[in-house]
A and B are shown apart, each in its own frame.
Chain A
Amino acid sequence: MAKPTSSTPPEPPQWANRFLEWYCAEDLLDEIQGDLLEIYQHRAKDKGVSNANILFIKEVLLFFRPSSFKKKNPFENLPIMLSLFQSYFKTAARNIWKTKFFSSLNLIGLTIGFTSFLLIALYIQYELSYDRYHEKSDRIYRVAQVQKGNVFRGSDRFALAPSALGPAMEANFPEVEATTTLRVNEFLFTKDQETFYAEGLFCDDALFDVFSFEMIEGNGPAAIADPNSIILTQSFAKKHFGDSDPIGATLVMETDKSVVVKGILEDPPKNSHFLFDYITSFKNLSYYEPNEWDSNNYYAYAALKEGQSSEEFAAKLIQLDRQYLPKRDGKPVSESKFFLQDLEDIHLYSQINFEMAANGDIRYLYFFGAIGLIILLIAAINYLNFATADSERRAVEVGMRKALGARRRQLVQQFLGESILLSFISFIFAILLVSVLLPLLNNYLGQQISFSPGSDPKIFFGLLSLALLIGGFSGLYPAFFIARVAPVKALKGQIIGIYQKSNWLRNTLVTGQFVAAIALAIGSIVIFQQLKYVQNKRLGYNEDQVVYIPYFNSEVYKKSGLIREQLLENAQIEEVAISQYVPLNMYSSHAVNDWEGREEKERISIYASPIDYNYLDVYGMELAQGRNFSPEFPADSTDRYILNETAVQALGWEDPIGKQFNGGEVIGVVKDFHFQPFQLAIEPLYFILGTAWHFSRRGNFSIKIKDSQDLQATLSYIQTSVSDILPGFPLEFQFMDESLKQLYRSEHRLSRIFGIFTLLALLISALGLLGLVSYNVVRRTKEISIRKILGASAMGIVNLLSKDFLRLMSIALIVATPIAYLMAQKWLESFAYRITLSWESFMLVAVIAIVLTILMVGLQSLRAALTNPVDQLRN
């Protein structure tokens, strides 16, 4: 029987075959399925297809046993994966080492970026953490007040409260859990033979009910209830008592009041809006009166009960005067409206009058945060650019690997590994750098920022993941281009097409970097100029060669005549004056409603400064009209005034001499001088002759020193004179010009920090540019060589290459300048006295940028231009 031979071989039942393929382990499929298929063919030939089919099915079923199954063991691949990672790691490390130059540029840039970002993040975190130390910090509020119509230094809000406020709140509002009233004051202390000034907290009994200060020894509440006790902070105790136990020791305050140390307090953390060295009862302040509404000398804090809404309570608080304040002559005893300030917000958001210490500003935080992000962004963009350029350079290598059978996944993993490894190394370096720089930063800022992976896991792991993310992304992004590399084309060198888009993107990114860096540079210059202006602006008085000595003790005033005489004995000392304030910071102003030519209901807010006969001399203040106070005119010491020019203007007078003012007469007009920070315009001010009433409690000696070489000798003369007359009086000179610098310390710091970060941004961008230029040159090596051969000069080549980059730089300049201009303008507006933005600074930056570009391109391309073209073309 001749069976027609089928053209195609018979096939076993597919369902059985597929079933086999499903359950059978990969490595067994060869022998099992192979054998079954082969014997199927034989059987089909010998005994027929149906026989073969049956047997096939039978044997597939028979093979269905555990030994054939796919192993589900996940760990069976682990040893392989491990050695694979090892190989990737080695390859990555080797590659990084091979391209040392570019890798280190990359590394530096990224490390700088991470470090800056980390430092800024830590700083911001620290600033945000002010006053959180206290257990009830989220429901503690400072009670401040608004005095409508009384604008002082640009604000009608005052951080102060009268001593009666706390008790009134506790009595009338059930929402209030506790209140405490306090004040920070500087007092003279004597311990055994030592005398020193120290600043401390004076408070009522309830301090510990509101704040969570920790006592190390002794009973806190008891110690403050007893006016004969004092609590010292740990470091203060250490400083003055060493290692011996201060409990029970006696200190003398202000030469007449003895207090016994009854407790030691744990140091309050530096991130608090007020700091102090000791705590004692209010009763130790001679002017303290409980339950008084008239003088706003204190700071009141209230802790609300849990769950109370501060908004609702605040609304009630405003009504305080109407319902609860005692009345005097039918009107409430205080015209202020009281409002609440969140404890946690005081440091950053409160800029009202009479803060206990200079607060920070939330705007600075936003600002620095933005800078940190910008720098990080610049660094990350750099990294990305490098990675892309790198993969382009290695297109040939990639093509070869592909030709040799590398799977796309492997290639991607390889590049990814390198990218992440480098990023991780940057991260490690950044952490090390931060731990070195942080103590320096703390010193500079006077703060206490700490950092360790254990204590700040959020930031640590946040940055780590950021590093890995940047590394990962920079590794993956070029992978798109790797994928499209056609091996044959790449080996021939025809890779241009794929990388067109990447080129465009890269150029845009670099331009973006420069926009940011240029804007920062311009900003930096503007800040610097403004600061210089402020510092050098003629203040209207002579601030160098003036030394002033503040005092807080009536003993000093009693001997003031003697002191002055003694000091004037020294030929180097020109003049000595006593006054209540120095022209640095006057804050006593009040309303005057009595002057010649006043309209109905007019009031003027004017600063008052009690001085003596010599004050104007010491400070070199010039009189525009009239005369100084003089002993020849006895009326001078009772009701004569010298006004400043602004006051005269405000009063609308043409001819002020002899006019009636505030119950007295004007005898002179002094030329305007700055007695407040430059943010504020000069306000009206008057001088009067001060008396014992003004000067006895506190005041200042102002000493004018001849411009001489031997300042030290003069100072020690002053020192010995004073200590002869007043033994035990701790002398603290202040130099007028130094103190002024202190005043602008925060602006100064801002300028410095801003400058540093600008330099960093510029550095990173410059690194980016350098890298880009280098790559560009390397890529066009052949082109350059050919041009050389065809007769191009070195200069011509440099020109050619610079053109592109100059174009990018110009675009960056054009974009950056208006942005920088607007932002600088905005910042300057916050100063009453400011510079005008000059085109010179912008020009300066532009010129520097262009010169920098040309230099970089020039250097790199010059190198290429000078090499022997033959060598280049050989490859």
Chain B
Amino acid sequence: MLPNLGLLEERVLLLVMILEDAYGVSIAEAYEAQIGKSISVPAVHTVLKRLEKKGMIESHMGPATPERGGRRKRLFDATNYGYRVIADIRDQRLKLWSMIPKLNRYG
């Protein structure tokens, strides 16, 4: 029985899977771009930490850049487990949504 994810967690997980270089800044900026709402870096970090703790993503340290004042970045990738969770969520959604009679009318 795979666990449930909060909305933020789901979205961040999706973004990790979408982005090639997923890290704090890139996720925050992509979130703002795709969903339209701004999100603070600390919030992203918190969610990422939670997801990593749940085993859905893993991280490694990446190269440093001068833009970051010589600091390295922590890059994230989804784990197989993470993919299964996301797939499960998608299936669940699709299943329920396909049962709404009226939704077909909206395309």
State the A residues within 8 Å of B (CB).
Answer: 9, 29-39, 41-42, 55, 58-59, 62-63, 67
Contacts and interface: CB of A to CB of B under 8 A. Distances in A.
B69 interface: yes
B67 A41 contact: yes
B13 to A, nearest CB: 18
B41 A36 contact: yes
Contacts of A62: 40, 42-43
Given A31-B74, A34-B64, A63-B41, 17 more contacts: A30-B74, A31-B45, A32-B45, A33-B68, A34-B73, A35-B24, A35-B25, A35-B45, A35-B73, A36-B41, A39-B24, A39-B25, A39-B29, A41-B67, A42-B25, A58-B40, A67-B49
Chain A binding surface SS class: helix
28 contacts: A30-B61, A30-B64, A30-B72, A30-B73, A31-B23, A31-B24, A31-B71, A31-B73, A31-B74, A33-B68, A33-B69, A33-B71, A34-B71, A34-B72, A34-B73, A35-B24, A35-B45, A37-B67, A37-B69, A39-B28, A39-B41, A59-B40, A59-B41, A59-B42, A62-B40, A62-B43, A63-B42, A67-B49
B65 interface: yes
A367 to B, nearest CB: 69
A226 B43 CA distance: 101
Contacts of A30: 61, 64, 71-74
A813 to B, nearest CB: 66
A38 B24 CA distance: 10
A37 B41 contact: no
Contacts, number: 62
Interface residues of B, number: 21
A35 B29 contact: no
A33 B68 CA distance: 8
Nearest to B68: A34
A37 B68 contact: yes
A63 B49 CA distance: 13
Contacts of B69: 33-34, 37
Interface in B5-45: 23-25, 28-29, 40-43, 45
B76 to A, nearest CB: 10
A35 B23 contact: yes
B32 to A, nearest CB: 10
A31 B75 CA distance: 9
Contacts of B49: 67
A55 to B, nearest CB: 8
A38 B40 contact: no
Closest 5 CB pairs of A and B: A34-B71, A35-B24, A34-B68, A62-B42, A31-B74
Which of B28, B43, B45, B61 counts the most A-chain CB atoms under 10 A from its CB? Answer: B45
B74 A38 contact: no
A26 to B, nearest CB: 12
Contacts of A58: 40
A38 B42 contact: no
Interface in B37-58: 40-43, 45, 49
A524 B56 CA distance: 85
A42 B24 CA distance: 13
A67 B42 CA distance: 11
B71 A29 contact: yes
Contacts of A63: 41-42, 45
Contacts of A35: 23-25, 41, 45, 68, 73
Contacts of A55: 40
Contacts of A37: 67-69, 71
A52 to B, nearest CB: 12
Contacts of B40: 55, 58-59, 62
B22 to A, nearest CB: 12
A67 B45 CA distance: 11
Q: Which of A32, A39, A55, A58 has the most CB of B within 10 A?
A: A39
A62 B40 CA distance: 9
A32 B24 CA distance: 9
A32 B44 CA distance: 11
